[in-house]
Chains A and B, each alone.
Chain A
Amino acid sequence: MQDSLTHKVALIGNPNSGKSSLFNILTGLNQKIGNFPGVTVDKKSGQCILVSQVNAEIIDLPGTYSLYPKSEDERVVFDILMNEKDKHHPDTIVVVADASNLSRNLLLFTQLQDLGLPMVLALTMIDVTEKRGLQIDIELLKKLLGVPVIPINARTGAGVDKLKAAMMSPLSRKSGEGFYRSVMFGCSVVENIKFKFGIINDYKALLIAHRYNVISHFTEAEKLAVKQICEKDDFQSLSFQAKETVARYEFINKLLAQVITRTKVDSVKDRLSSKIDAVLTHKIWGYAIFFATLFILFQAVFAWASLPMEWIDMGVSALNGFFKDVLPAGPATSLFTDGLIAGLGGVLIFIPQIAILFAFISVLEESGYMARVMFIMDKLMRKFGLNGKSVVPLVSSVACAVPAIMSARSIDNVKERLITIFVTPLISCSARIPVFTVLIALVVPQDYVWGIFNLQGLALMGLYAIGFIGAIVTAKIMQIFLKTEEKSYFIMEMPDYKTPRWKNVGLTIIEKVRTFVFEAGKVIIAISIILWALASYGPGNGIEQAKIKAETQAKINGFDQAQTDNLIASYKLEESYAGKFGKFIEPSIKPLGFDWKIGIALITSFAAREVFIGTMSTIYSIGSDNDDENTIIERMKAEVNPETGKPMYSFALAFSLIIFYVFAMQCMSTIAVVYRETKSWFWPTAQFVYMTGLAYLSSFLVFQLLGLK
């Protein structure tokens, strides 16, 4: 058992080869999603019982077209295979190949085989291949390739048991039978590297010569040594790679000519796919369908999610109330209920929106439609320094910028990826919705324009438009100032249209929700606790004195118990650290029309925007277990500006505040994820300064201009 437990099987294959579906079938819900050390590429691994008593750890490596990495995803695969000491280095590899695209899929296979790793070839989409009129002689393929070849169906799971059994007896090719020899023209680089590093495998030595600068376990001295060897022998990396690829395809095509027989010529499916593409990439219909899809997506995210969100809200409130009743009153209980449970509620409330959003996105991706959207949007997006692939992050950020920024990984070009990451948080995310809702309700009447359009709804749409415009204008500015030598690529496979595999959709939803809850959740909960402490404690004995002062005042006014408690809470807050901070920053936010109370909300919102409502409830002394939005709106409406005697929340102030929330970077999770994705503090810092500056300036203008009236 000891050995079998550590047996590692890696799934390797082209993107869209059905690799993830196979992984899902092999591991089910037994998956762990993490990161490969040092990079942001998702690592999926899971346990699988091969035959009774024999366990294997299955690692789903990112999709790759070859062992010459061109993106970070591909580099991970290369790095793991090149380093035998890497803890993910597999004992066995399962090459997953799409049978309907066999020649291209076998390119990677032949490279892997040259590395001498024990392997099994799993053929997916045999049904598609047969429908296209192609018959594959599996037995002959097995004989010619010299490894077990197992046809599987990643939808039904047929053939998976045979594959598991084959994983027990993979076969490897002897070293020295590689394809590259014919193109090397007696270049002695391979021999020299083998000698220098004590490497046995020829192809491994060749890969080192080509890509030594991206091998992470190599020291600078080792890289220099390879560089010198290559220079001495005049190693032509680009031309050797091209020749190698051509030689491999020659071999593969000769082999496939024996293995594949064509039974009929044209197929209905190809023609159907052409017809669908003619519509989906049409000048008018293409965009019309895309915008209709977006419209349905927004409707779903906002309308369908509202009910489950209410349930979660009620559930958390009930839980909070329950613990407040059961546990003895005191700081510990207060921390647990108002700090921890309330913070947890702030995270859980977004689950329905994130689940619905990713259900949509994953269906769009699985069906092959997303690639068409990228295709029709690429030229437009490029005008703004973005990429057709930026569509996914920009759309996702309507729910949450954190998963959206992570999805920008698919953009190979560094500049376009950076711009996408930079502007994504400007798109209004769901955390802004509660803030917008409350502030709009304060100043925009519930009227209808032309009897159908709700005025408040239009205002909300307007805010999304402002955020979107902010994002593309920012992208345009960055495109002008950000210089890069690197060429932008859009060489991308357009997958065939397919019915989505619901199991994959389900697992994507679970994975995204889980990532959000743990990544964002950690921060939100931590901030909630800090906020609770800052609002509960203050310098000196100010807090006690505030209590006494409030009690005296309540007695004079003849307040009942609830009113007295509210007054105490309000006075306490003013004397707390949070209150002091608010007063401290008041002069700087005065030009925007904000007072120290809003100042507190701004400070706490820098952790996460949604904290605004909770903070406002506390500031306007409504018990925190009663965060009914209407009550907050009533309270805020009743607030009077001590200087003018008019209502505090004038049209100008409310809009100044709204605009601030549209643009400001107020999300610790986003900052954390941008740091992780760009591996530098420069980008999150620049983003924070830029967005906050933009917010400040815009709010200032809005307040001053609207205030003139």
Chain B
Amino acid sequence: MSVLPKNTLATLKIGQKALVTGFTDEALSLKLLEMGCLPGAEIEMHAIAPLGDPLCISVYGYKLSMRISEANTVLIKII
């Protein structure tokens, strides 16, 4: 069984869409969950700051910004 490369939110390009599949940091996931970033939620990369970090996604029609380090704890499946 081959190990799939971990796809995290931080790898998305602007305009790309994905589904949230899980989290790798439990404490951080609580904050993200509250903000509506749920497993199964459809997200889209909305903007990336000029210096490459932080980034801004849309989820459920509103925008959420987070740092790369935070985005790296969100596992996704690109659609």
Asked if A104 and B35 make an inter-chain contact with CB atoms under 8 angstroms apart, the answer reads: yes
Q: Is A245 an interface residue (CB 8 A)?
A: yes
Q: What does the 1/0 interface line of A484-505 toward B look like (CB < 8 Å)?
A: 0001111111111000000000
- List B contacts of A242 (CB < 8 A): 26, 29-30, 33
- List B contacts of A281 (CB < 8 A): 47-50, 56
Given contacts A286-B50, A379-B53, A494-B56, contact A68 B34 (CB under 8 A): yes
Q: What does the 1/0 interface line of A243-275 toward B look like (CB < 8 Å)?
A: 001100100000000000000000000100010
Asked if B61 and A376 make an inter-chain contact with CB atoms under 8 angstroms apart, the answer reads: no
- List B contacts of A493 (CB < 8 A): 35, 62-65
Shortest Cβ distance from residue A484 to the other chain B in the assembled complex, whole angstroms? 15
Max chain A C-beta neighbours (<10 A), residue from B48, B67, B70 = B67
Cα A282 to Cα B48 with chains together (Å):
9
Q: Is A648 an interface residue (CB 8 A)?
A: no
Q: What does the 1/0 interface line of B40-63 toward A look like (CB < 8 Å)?
A: 000000111111111010001111
Asked if A379 and B54 make an inter-chain contact with CB atoms under 8 angstroms apart, the answer reads: yes
- List B contacts of A179 (CB < 8 A): none
Cα A496 to Cα B61 with chains together (Å):
10
Q: Which secondary structure characterizes the binding site on chain B?
A: mixed
Q: Is A100 an interface residue (CB 8 A)?
A: yes
Q: Is A241 an interface residue (CB 8 A)?
A: yes
- List B contacts of A495 (CB < 8 A): 63
- List A contacts of B38 (CB < 8 A): 245-246, 249
Candidates A104, A249, A491; contact of B31 at CB < 8 Å: A491
Asked if A238 and B27 make an inter-chain contact with CB atoms under 8 angstroms apart, the answer reads: yes
Candidates A238, A376, A487, A496; contact of B30 at CB < 8 Å: A238
Asked if A103 and B60 make an inter-chain contact with CB atoms under 8 angstroms apart, the answer reads: yes
Candidates A100, A249, A270, A491; contact of B70 at CB < 8 Å: A491
Q: Which secondary structure characterizes the binding site on chain A?
A: helix
Cα A380 to Cα B50 with chains together (Å):
10
Cα A278 to Cα B46 with chains together (Å):
9
Asked if B26 and A375 make an inter-chain contact with CB atoms under 8 angstroms apart, the answer reads: no
Cα A15 to Cα B39 with chains together (Å):
23
Cα A489 to Cα B67 with chains together (Å):
8
Number of interface residues of A (CB under 8 A): 43
Shortest Cβ distance from residue A586 to the other chain B in the assembled complex, whole angstroms? 50
Max chain A C-beta neighbours (<10 A), residue from B28, B48, B51 = B51
Q: Is A339 an interface residue (CB 8 A)?
A: no
Nearest A residue (CB) for B62: A101
Given contacts A277-B47, A281-B47, A378-B54, contact A100 B61 (CB under 8 A): yes
Shortest Cβ distance from residue B42 to the other chain A in the assembled complex, whole angstroms? 12
Q: Is B78 an interface residue (CB 8 A)?
A: no
Q: What does the 1/0 interface line of B5-37 toward A look like (CB < 8 Å)?
A: 000000000000000000000111111111110
Q: Within A40-66, which residues are at the interface with B (CB < 8 Å)?
A: 65-66
Q: Within A107-151, which residues are at the interface with B (CB < 8 Å)?
A: 107, 132
Cα A380 to Cα B27 with chains together (Å):
26
Shortest Cβ distance from residue B51 to the other chain A in the assembled complex, whole angstroms? 4
Asked if A375 and B49 make an inter-chain contact with CB atoms under 8 angstroms apart, the answer reads: yes
Give me 23 A-to-B residue pairs in the complex whose CB atoms sit less than 8 angstroms apart, sorted by A's number: A65-B34, A100-B62, A103-B36, A132-B61, A238-B26, A245-B34, A249-B33, A277-B56, A281-B50, A375-B49, A375-B54, A375-B65, A378-B49, A379-B49, A380-B51, A388-B54, A490-B66, A491-B31, A491-B64, A491-B65, A494-B63, A494-B64, A496-B62
**Which chain A residues have a beta carbon within 8 Å of chain B's beta carbons?**
65-66, 68, 70, 100-101, 103-104, 107, 132, 238-239, 241-242, 245-246, 249, 270, 274, 277-278, 281-283, 286-287, 371, 375-376, 378-380, 388, 487-496
19 further contact pairs, Cβ within 8 A, besides A278-B47, A281-B50, A375-B54: A70-B31, A103-B36, A107-B34, A241-B30, A242-B29, A246-B33, A246-B39, A281-B49, A282-B50, A283-B50, A287-B50, A375-B65, A376-B49, A489-B28, A489-B70, A493-B63, A493-B65, A494-B62, A494-B63
